[in-house]
Structures are given as C-alpha cells and as structure tokens.
Chain A
Amino acid sequence: MKLKRLVALFAFVTLGTIAAGCGNKKAEVKTITVGTGTNYRPFVYQTKSGKDTGYEIAVLKAIDKKLPQYKFKVSHYDFTNLFPALKNKRIDILANQIESNSERRKLYQFSKEGYTNYDLHIVSLYGKYHTLKDLKGKKVYAIPGGNAPLILENYIKAHPENKFKIVYGNWSDQLLYKSFKNKTVDATLGTKFSADFTNKQLGSHYVYSDKPVNTSSTYYLFRKKDPDSTKLNSQVSKALKQLKDDGTLKKLSVKYLGGDYTN
C-alpha cells in the first residue's frame, strides 16, 4: 500500500515537472528559432573550427540583417524531426531546401519567394541520357526525401513501356560514386550545383542533361493557422525579395553554389 502511494506521488511529481516545463516560456524576447539540417553540403555544414557555414546559413544571416525586429537562432535537427518541431513550435522557420507540392502546401505555409533554383537534371557518368525516356531499363538512384522519387514513380506509372528500376538509398557521395563506377546505378536526378560540388570534392566526372526534367524552387516553411507565423512569413518573404533585387542573393549563390541559382 505504501509502495502504491509512493509510485502515485512519483508519477504526480513527474507530470507536474513536465507541465511546468511546457508552460515556462519567455515572451519578451523576439528570438526566432530556425530549424535546419546537420550536414547537408553545400547548404549547411561546419567549418573545421565548428562554426556553421553554407548557403543556407549565409542567406539566413542576410535576412536577419534586414530584419532588426527579429534575431535568428539556428538549431540543427534530423530531417524527419524538423517537421514535428515546426508544428510543436520548437522552431519558427524551417529552412532545409524544401520544395513545394500541393500535399505539402496543405500542411505548411510556404515563403512567398523561393530562394534556390532546384531544377533537376539527369546526372550520370557518361551523359547519354537527355530525357527520362532514355532511362528505359536502367537503374536510377533516388534518395527518399526530395521531389525526385515522386517524379520517377509518376513517370513509370504514366509510361510503363519505358520502365526503369528505382534504387532507393541514402548513400554518402563516395558510395554513390563507387556505385556509379561498378554500375549498380546508371543515373540519378540531381541539381547542377550538387553535381558540380561533388565533382570538385571527389574529383568525379558527373555530367548532367542540358534540359531539366523538372523545374522547381526551394522555400522556407512556416506554421499554418498561426497569425505570428503569417506575420513572420510576410516579413521574411519581403526581405528575401529585397535580397534578390539588390543582387545579394546572387552573390551568395555564386560564392557557395558556384553559379547563379536564385531564379
């Protein structure tokens, strides 16, 4: 009986602590927490001294400078944990090169301006693939996460006569390059700048198709049905527009992505 009471007391105290922790919020400081990934080159990565750097971080800093009423604090999350973090107000902006589609727009507010061109090209070692039709019977690598798997699966559904095999994986750049060389995969969908970046880093010789198979842009994500979030979105989008117009964004893109990928 005594033990029972002790357990009940313990449970009560624990619950109370949790409840108190949830209610403890400072209202006066207007710090905006931005959630982003951990290691996503060339967008977010750490320098040797451990400081955050990359295109994503640089753009966020530039926006922060335009908005004196806010102070941005960057917080790193695993990709799948970013979305619940935004919903549960642990972060206010989700910045991780998110592409738009109608399903996602139903759940989140997107910034009015896109900030990175995310046109997907067919990337391979020999460059004989120009359209998705050329991939017939080949093995196409895709990382679950972006728009690429969806594009590939929809294409197969619409054109079963040009069927190719999708190899899902979450490989490092080294492993992907190795798989290209031993022909485990023949092609993948990727952006021009990521192919350029990998070529520079690994000394690989990836080539991309001239025409993109999909045109897209990436956006910041905000909470839906939250007036504060809507206000933040309009301010951030305005600042982003200004950065685009005065050429700052272009400069950052050239510096981090090796070309102008801002349209």
Chain B
Amino acid sequence: MDVTFLITCIKVAVKYVPITLYLGLTSFFIGLIFGIIIALVRFFKVQFISTFFKWTISLSNSIPLLLTLTVFYLVVSDALHPLGNIVGANWQFKFFDRKWIAIFALSIFSTNYVAEAIRSALNAVPQSQWDAAYSVGLTTKQTLFGIIMPQALRSSIPLFGNILTSLIKGSSLVSAVSVVDLLNSVMIKAQVNYEYFEAYLAAAIVYWVLCTVITFASRFLGIISSKQRRIFSD
C-alpha cells in the first residue's frame, strides 16, 4: 500500500469534485423541473398523458445508465449535423460539449426518481387536507400550491438527498462519453505506475466524503423545514 500515492490521488480527485458536483446538481435540477410536472400529471391522472408517462418511466427505469449514455452518444454523434441542417444551423459534433450527453442521460434518471418521490409524497398527504382547504373556499390550484405541494416537497427532502447521491455515484460512468470526472481523473493518474488499487481507494474516499456531506445536509434541511412548519402551525 503506497500511502504517498494514495494522498496524491486524493488531491487529484478533490480537484475534480466540482465537475462531478456540476454533473450531479445540473441533472438533479433538470430532473426536479420535469419530475414535478410528471408527478402532477400522474397524480391528477390526466388522460393519455398520464398513461404515456407511466410507460416512459417504466421504460427508462429498466435501462442501465451506461447503456443510455453509450447509445445516446452514438445517436447524437450521427444526428447532430442533420438536425442542425433542419433548423438551418451548422451544428457540428466536434463543437458539442460531451458533458451535455452525460447530463442528459443523468437527467432522465433524476426525472424518474423525482417524479416517483413526489407522486408518493403527494399521495401521502391525507385527504382531510384537501377537504379542509375546499371547505374554506380554496380552489384546487390554491390548495395544491398553497397547502399540498409544500407538504409533499418538505417530506421529499431526505429522498432528494438520496437522489442526488445516486446521481453523483452514477456520474462515475461518464468516462464512457469521454468526460473526465472524479473517477476518471485518478485512473489517468494511476497509469503512470499502474497503482490502480490506491487510485480506486482514493476515489472511493472522496465519493464517500462527498455523499456523506450531502446526506447530512439534506437531513439538516429536513429538520429545519419541519421545525419551521411547527412554528408556522402554532
């Protein structure tokens, strides 16, 4: 065990934490936007669209992330130029930032997770809340955004932490589309002396610290928001 090299690798990995965070957070927020929309559509059982999303979610849930990344890479590298021609722009794959392929694939996953989390959170808000809101004359829209959604989002905060950590772990696959992230950076470092064990270990340590921080932060946020709620209801 080469401790000096392990420390060197940790330093390299820490330098690439922002890129890993960027991939994770961007796809999380994209997923949040689309996830909320899909959750609402499915919650209110909007005809056709609801069934459509039910199938797309089950479809994208059953395809491994690595496969999505690779397939999307191949599709984009072929289709980008013809697509550009259609809209009259000169799009070339060589100018295309491959990070967006990674973000796209990760966003599909985060959309799924967020949609399912929020849908179950919406279902978990008791029916009496709706009845109470209607009884004081609120409309469905007012009830949803003023009463139900805040409760659903609040109870999803710990789940959001989980989703973010799974996205960060999932982002370690982006080397498939030639994006250098945390894991990839230490692998490149390790090629000098083939000390792959130390490199993997360094990456594991950095991932562990990163995900622990996120888990604690989300737990802390969850506690704070539930406290606020108590003050509010008093």
A residues near B, CB below 8 A?
Answer: 80, 83-84, 101, 103-104, 106-108, 139, 144-146, 149-150, 167-171, 175, 178-179, 182-184
Contacts of A103 in B (CB 8 A): 192-193
CA distance A144 to B194 in the complex (A): 11
B77: which of A150, A167, A170, A178 is its contact (CB, 8 Å)? A178
| Residues in A neighbouring B188, C-beta threshold 8 A | 144, 149, 168
Q: Which of B74, B180, B192 contacts A101 (CB 8 A)?
A: B192
Contact A182 B193 (CB under 8 A): no
**Cβ contacts under 8 Å, A139 to chain B:** 94
B47 located at the interface, meaning its Cβ lies under 8 Å from any Cβ of chain A in the complex: no
B175 touches A170 (CB 8 A): yes
User: Which of A80, A139, A145, A149 neighbours the largest number of chain B CB atoms within 10 Å of its CB?
Assistant: A80
Knowing A103-B192, A150-B192, A168-B178 are in contact, say whether A144-B93 is a contact too (CB < 8 A). no
Contacts of A167 in B (CB 8 A): 178
Collect the chain B residues with CB atoms within 8 Å of residue A145's CB: 191
A106 to B195, CA, bound (A): 11
Q: Are B94 and A183 in contact (CB under 8 A)?
A: yes
Task: Across the interface, name the chain A residue whose C-beta is closest to B70.
Answer: A175
B residues 63-77 near A (Cβ < 8 Å) are: 74, 77
User: Told that A149-B188, A169-B178 touch, could you supply 20 new A-B pairs with CB distance under 8 A?
Assistant: A80-B196, A83-B197, A84-B196, A84-B197, A104-B192, A104-B193, A104-B194, A106-B193, A144-B188, A144-B191, A145-B191, A146-B191, A149-B191, A168-B188, A175-B74, A179-B77, A182-B81, A182-B93, A182-B94, A184-B77
**Given the contacts A167-B178, A168-B188, A178-B77, A183 and B92 also touching, CB distance less than 8 Å:** yes
**B187 in the interface (beta carbon within 8 A):** yes
Contacts of B197 in A (CB 8 A): 83-84
Residues of the A chain whose Cβ atoms lie less than 8 Å from the Cβ of B194: 83, 104, 107-108
Q: Is the CB of B77 within 8 A of A182?
A: yes
Which residues of chain B have C-beta atoms less than 8 A from A146's C-beta? 191
Binary per-residue interface labels of chain B (152-194) against chain A in the complex, 1 for a CB within 8 Å, 0 otherwise: 0000000000000000000000010010100010011001111
Q: Could you tell me the distance between the alpha carbons of A181 and B190 in the complex, rounded to whole angstroms?
A: 31
Q: Provide the bound-state CA to CA distance between A137 and B178, in Å.
A: 18
- 13 residue pairs of the A-B complex, CB under 8 angstroms, read A83-B194, A107-B193, A107-B195, A150-B191, A168-B180, A169-B175, A178-B77, A182-B92, A182-B93, A182-B94, A183-B92, A183-B94, A184-B94
